[in-house]
Chain A
Amino acid sequence: MTVYVPRDSAARSVGADLVADALAAHGVPVVRNGSRGMLWLEPFVEVTTAAGRVGYGPVSPADVPGLLEAGLLDGGAHPLRVGVVDDVPWLARQNRVTFARVGITDPLSPEDYLAHGGLAGLRRALTLTPADVVAEVTESGLRGRGGAGFPAGVKWKTVLGCPGPLKFVCANADEGDSGTFADRMMLEGDPFALIEGMTIAAHAVGATEGYVYVRSEYPDAVATLRTAIDLARARGWLGLDVLGSGLTFDLHVRVGAGAYICGEETSMLESLEGKRGMVRAKPPIPAVQGLFGKPTVVNNVLTLATVPAILASGAAAYRRLGFERSRGTQVFQLGGNTARGGIVETAFGTTLGELVHDYGGGTRSGRPVRCVQVGGPLGAYVPTSQFGLPMDYESFAAAGAMLGHGGVVVFDDTVDMAAQARFAFEFCAEESCGKCTPCRVGAVRGVEVIDRIRAGQEREKNLVLLEDLCVLMTDGSLCAMGGLTPMPVRSALTHFAADFEPPAPGPVEPVPADAAKAGSRAEPAADDLATVASGVEPQALPEVSS
Chain B
Amino acid sequence: MTRIDESRNGLQPGERLEPRGRRKRRGEPASPLAGLDPLLVLTVRRIVAAHRSHRGPLLPVLHALQDELGHVPPDATPILAHELNLSRAEVHGVITFYTDFRREPAPPSTVRICRAEACQAVGAEQLVACAAEHGHALGKPGPVAVSQVFCLGNCALGPSVEVDGRVLGRVTPQRLAALLAERTAS
Contacts and interface: CB of A to CB of B under 8 A. Distances in A.
Interface in B135-161: 135, 137-138, 140, 149-158, 160
B18 interface: no
Given A258-B100, A333-B155, A544-B135, A12 B128 contact: no
B50 interface: no
Contacts of B150: 176, 178, 260, 377, 427, 430-431
Contacts of A260: 150
Interface string A415-441: 100001001000100110000000000
A165 interface: no
A534 B155 contact: no
B32 interface: no
B133 A180 contact: no
Interface in A320-335: 333-335
Contact of B137 (A337, A338, A544): A544
Nearest to A271: B59
B156 A342 contact: yes
B95 to A, nearest CB: 9
A410 B155 CA distance: 10
Contacts of B165: 219
A530 B169 CA distance: 25
Contacts of A275: 56, 58, 90, 93-94
Report the contact-size class of chain A (Cβ under 8 Å from the partner): 35 or more
A336 B158 contact: yes
Contacts of A254: 59-60
B119 interface: yes
B156 A255 contact: no
Interface in A323-368: 333-338, 341-342, 364-365
Interface in A237-277: 252, 254-260, 271-277
Contact of B125 (A181, A259, A532): A532
Contacts of B151: 176-180, 217
A15 B118 CA distance: 20
Contacts of B156: 10, 39-40, 181, 333-336, 338, 341-342
Contacts of B98: 256-259, 276-277
A546 interface: yes
B39 interface: no
A541 B126 CA distance: 9
A257 B117 contact: no
Contacts of A411: 121
Given A255-B63, A257-B99, A336-B117, A341 B135 contact: no
Name the residue among B129, B152, B170 with the largest chain A CB count within 10 angstroms.
B152
A176 B128 CA distance: 20
A115 interface: no
Contacts of B169: 10, 13-14
Interface of A: 9-10, 12-14, 39-40, 42, 175-181, 184, 216-219, 252, 254-260, 271-277, 292, 333-338, 341-342, 364-365, 373, 377, 407, 409-412, 415, 420, 423, 427, 430-431, 530, 532-536, 540-544, 546
Given A410-B121, A542-B129, 17 more contacts: A14-B157, A176-B150, A177-B151, A255-B63, A274-B58, A277-B98, A333-B156, A334-B156, A336-B117, A336-B158, A342-B156, A377-B117, A409-B118, A420-B117, A533-B120, A534-B120, A543-B132
Q: Nearest 3 pairs between A and B by C-beta?
A: A341-B156, A335-B155, A178-B116
23 contacts: A9-B154, A10-B156, A13-B169, A39-B157, A176-B150, A178-B150, A179-B117, A181-B154, A219-B165, A255-B63, A273-B56, A275-B90, A276-B93, A292-B55, A336-B121, A364-B122, A410-B121, A530-B138, A532-B128, A534-B124, A534-B125, A536-B129, A544-B137
